[in-house]
Every structure is written in structure tokens, then in C-alpha cells.
């Protein structure tokens, strides 16, 4: 289809998706943990999972569309045999490949993980085995530590980022989580607030309401953030800077009814797509599926249905207003032109 002036203007204003940069692909809907803040492990009871052939076709389509980054996730992706050929296909094409994992199987797969991935996002929800294992429902802390040791002993290893979801069960020990992440050998730690409103993490979001922090826990979190900022670790070893961490605290306060939710700046639905384990495609983790990737991910992203989904994202909506994981990149040089095309 020819790129007419009208189509360019529509593209620049954000009414059409930009070039695909990141593919987020769930290779499993199974999990070997029982986290209190995530119920993906309960299963969705939906459509059958994609086959390896179907997943590889989606990967090839995404690469042809320009994607040069991919995040492989789940469930727990290390439970899926599809993970390895998918990662190999992406690496052979020169893509940067990332893995989101709970870390339970890292020691067993250390060599393969090191050879297949550029960056790992590994769940760490407590500063001690008592907290981490209590929140994740299985003895996981020591197995996670062993996996990190195995990776760090290799001559080449991926970048290791701890990802911690803060809520009433752990927000009071944010400093202990940072200390544990450093002692375990992570390169960085990143924090998200509890998602108690969307179905992105499976199950009934209302079941996560008991995890909303109390005022006392929120006070402890904010005091910990101030001390971390004074220590100079925010925006460094802690990925979020002071502004970002205070936003996390405000989000949790809003969830407790002690403030208003703030819609963050985010343009991820324009440059990335999320493909669920069964092939449904979402503009991001938190919005409803738009269609299926089995036919053609590129065709779906160029469809009227996808444009309508982007319009819903652009409009005022509770999903974006309560987003826990915003991503803002901008469309590169196109962003400088967007202002010129705006009315």
C-alpha cells in the first residue's frame, strides 16, 4: 500500500502503529511457582497453546517487520522446550533476546541461557528466603541464588536484572531487597508496584486486593526510598530514579485509596506487540487482545482493529491510568515531525 500524505499524517499522530521494534512472546502459560501477586499459574482455560511451528512463523514475521528485540516470557518460559529454537532463530537474525524468568531452573539451564540471551529479568520479591519464598509459594530463594552463581561462573553471561513487585507483603523491606540483589550478583534491580486491577497476571484481580499496602507499610516504603536516594543508588543499581520510585509509592497509595492514580507517559503499544501463549495479540500486557497472530502479526498490526485498539489506548481509560509498567521510547526521528503534523 502506498504511503500517501494522509497515511503519513495518521501514522505520525499515533493513529497507526510505528515500526515493530519489540516482540513480547509468551512461550508457556505454565509456571512452577504459586505467587500471591500473580495467578498465571492457575491457567486460563482458554484456547490451546501455539505450536512451535506457529511460534516460529510469528518470530519470522516480526523479524521481517523490523523487530530487533524480543522478550520471551510466560508463565515460566524455562518450562517450555519451544524456548530454545525460538531464541536460536532470533539470535541468528541478530536480534537482542531477553528472558523473563522466576529463576528456579537457571542452574540447570545456565550454559544454554548464557548462550541464548543478552539480558535476564529474574523475579526477586524479598530480601530473605522467608519473604521471597513465602510470597512465591515454593522454596525458591536458594535455587535462584544457585542459578545466578552458575551464570556468573561462565565466561560469557547475560546481563542480570532483578525484578521485584512491591506490595503489602514486601514493600517495607525495599532496602533489604536491594541489598539481597547486590549480594546475589545482579547487575541491577528494578521495581514495579502491585497490579490489582487488570487481568494481565491471570486470575481475578480482586483476589490481589488483600496485598494493597497499609498506610504504615507505605510510610516505611517511602522512608526506604528516601534513604536509597540519599545513598545514591537510585537511577544506578536501582534502575528507577527518585522520580520513578516515588511514582511507584504513589501508585500503591492510590491503590489503597489514599490518592489518585496518575497516567504515566507510555508509547509501548505503538512499537511493540504482546503475543500470548495461545496466539492472542495485545497492544501491551494490560490491554485486551485485539486478534490472533496465527495468520500474520504484521497484517493484524496494520488492521482497522489494531488502529481501533490504539485509539482506545490514546483515549482516557482506567487501564492506562493504573499502569504499573510504562515504557516510553518515542518513534525516533518521526517524533520530531509529529508536532508539525498535529492540528
pLDDT at 6: 45
Least confident of 278-282, 297-301, 322-326: 322-326
Q: Could you give the angle at the alpha carbon of 271 between the alpha carbons of 265 and 276, nearest 5°?
A: 100
pLDDT of residue 295: 85
Which class for 87: exposed (0-12), middle (13-18), buried (19 or more C-beta within 10 A)?
buried
Question: What is the reported pLDDT for 196?
Answer: 75
Instruction: Cis check for the bond before 26: say yes or no (omega within 30 of 0).
Output: no
Contact 196, 187 (CB under 8 A): no
Could you report the per-residue pLDDT of 105-147, keeping only the tens digit for each?
Answer: 999 999 999 999 999 999 999 999 999 898 888 899 999 999 9
Residue with cell 542452574: 107
Architecture of domain 5-341: Alpha-Beta Barrel (3.20)
- Of 100, 205, 95, the closest CA to residue 163 belongs to 100
> What is d(CA 125, CA 141) in angstroms, rounded to the nearest whole number?
9
Q: Distances from the Cα of 111 to the Cαs of 30, 32, 49, 181, in angstroms?
A: 23, 21, 27, 21
CA-derived radius of gyration, the chain? 20
38 has pLDDT over 80: no
Q: Mean per-residue pLDDT for 186-192? A: 97
More confident residue, 9 or 209: 209
Mean pLDDT across 235-248: 97
Burial environment of residue 4 by CB neighbours within 10 A (0 to 12, 13 to 18, 19 or more): exposed
The full DSSP string for 103-139 is STTTTTTHHHHHHH-SEEEEE---SSHHHHHHHHSSS
Residue 331's φ and ψ, nearest 5 degrees, are -90, 25
Measured distance CA(153)–CA(148) in Å, rounded: 9
Looking only at the bridges linking them, the beta strands covering 159-166 and 119-123 are parallel
The dihedrals phi and psi of 44, each to the nearest 5 degrees, come to -100, -20
Alpha-carbon distance of 339 to 309, in angstroms, equals: 22
- The rounded Cα 216 to chain-centroid distance in angstroms is 28
| Element spanning 165, H or E | strand 159-166
Rounded CA-CA distance 108/145 in Å is: 12
Q: Is 231's pLDDT higher than 60?
A: yes
| Whole-number Å distance between alpha carbons of 238 and 247 | 14
What gap in Å lies between CA 141 and CA 133, rounded to an integer?
Answer: 6
Cα distances from 170 to residues 106, 142, 251, 288, 319, in angstroms, run 24, 18, 15, 29, 24
Q: C-alpha grid cell for residue 315?
A: 483515549
Position 203 confidence tier, pLDDT thresholds 50, 70, 90: low
Q: What pLDDT, on a 0 to 100 scale, did the predictor assign at position 330?
A: 74
pLDDT digits (tens, 9 = 90+) for 205-223: 677 788 899 999 999 999 9
Rounded to two decimals, what is the model's pTM? 0.89
Amino acid at each position: 500500500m502506498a504511503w500517501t500524505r494522509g497515511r503519513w499524517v495518521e501514522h505520525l499522530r499515533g493513529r497507526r502503529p510505528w515500526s515493530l521494534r519489540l516482540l513480547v512472546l509468551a512461550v508457556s502459560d505454565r509456571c512452577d511457582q504459586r505467587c500471591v501477586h500473580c495467578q498465571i499459574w492457575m491457567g486460563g482455560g482458554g484456547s490451546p497453546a501455539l505450536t512451535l511451528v506457529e511460534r516460529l512463523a510469528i518470530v519470522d514475521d516480526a523479524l521481517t517487520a523490523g523487530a530487533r528485540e524480543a522478550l520471551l516470557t510466560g508463565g515460566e518460559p524455562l518450562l517450555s522446550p519451544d524456548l530454545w529454537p525460538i531464541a536460536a532463530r532470533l539470535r541468528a537474525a541478530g536480534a537482542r533476546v531477553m528472558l523473563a524468568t522466576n529463576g528456579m531452573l537457571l542452574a540447570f539451564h545456565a550454559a544454554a541461557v548464557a548462550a541464548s540471551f543478552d539480558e535476564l529479568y529474574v523475579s526477586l520479591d524479598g530480601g530473605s528466603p522467608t519473604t521471597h519464598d513465602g510470597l512465591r509459594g515454593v522454596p525458591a530463594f536458594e535455587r535462584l541464588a544457585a542459578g545466578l552463581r552458575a551464570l556468573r561462573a561462565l565466561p560469557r553471561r547475560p546481563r542480570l536484572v532483578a525484578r521485584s513487585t512491591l506490595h503489602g507483603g514486601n514493600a517495607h523491606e525495599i532496602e533489604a531487597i536491594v541489598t539481597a540483589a547486590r549480594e546475589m550478583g545482579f547487575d541491577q534491580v528494578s521495581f514495579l508496584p502491585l497490579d490489582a486491577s487488570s487481568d494481565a497476571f491471570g486470575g481475578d484481580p480482586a483476589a490481589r486486593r488483600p496485598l494493597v499496602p497499609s498506610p504504615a507499610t507505605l510510610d516505611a516504603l517511602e522512608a526506604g526510598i528516601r534513604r536509597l536516594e540519599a545513598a545514591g543508588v537510585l537511577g544506578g543499581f536501582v534502575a528507577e530514579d527518585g522520580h520513578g520510585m516515588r511514582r511507584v509509592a504513589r501508585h500503591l497509595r492510590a491503590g489503597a485509596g489514599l490518592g489518585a492514580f496518575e497516567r504515566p507517559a507510555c508509547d509501548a503499544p505503538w512499537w511493540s506487540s504482546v503475543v500470548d501463549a495461545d496466539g492472542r495479540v495485545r497492544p501491551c500486557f494490560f490491554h485486551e487482545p485485539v486478534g490472533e497472530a496465527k495468520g500474520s502479526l504484521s497484517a493484524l498490526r496494520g488492521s482497522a482493529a489494531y488502529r481501533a485498539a490504539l485509539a482506545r489506548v490514546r483515549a482516557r481509560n482506567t487501564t492506562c491510568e493504573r499502569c504499573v509498567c510504562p515504557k516510553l521510547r518515542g518513534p525516533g526521528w518521526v517524533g520530531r515531525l509529529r508536532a508539525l503534523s498535529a492540528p
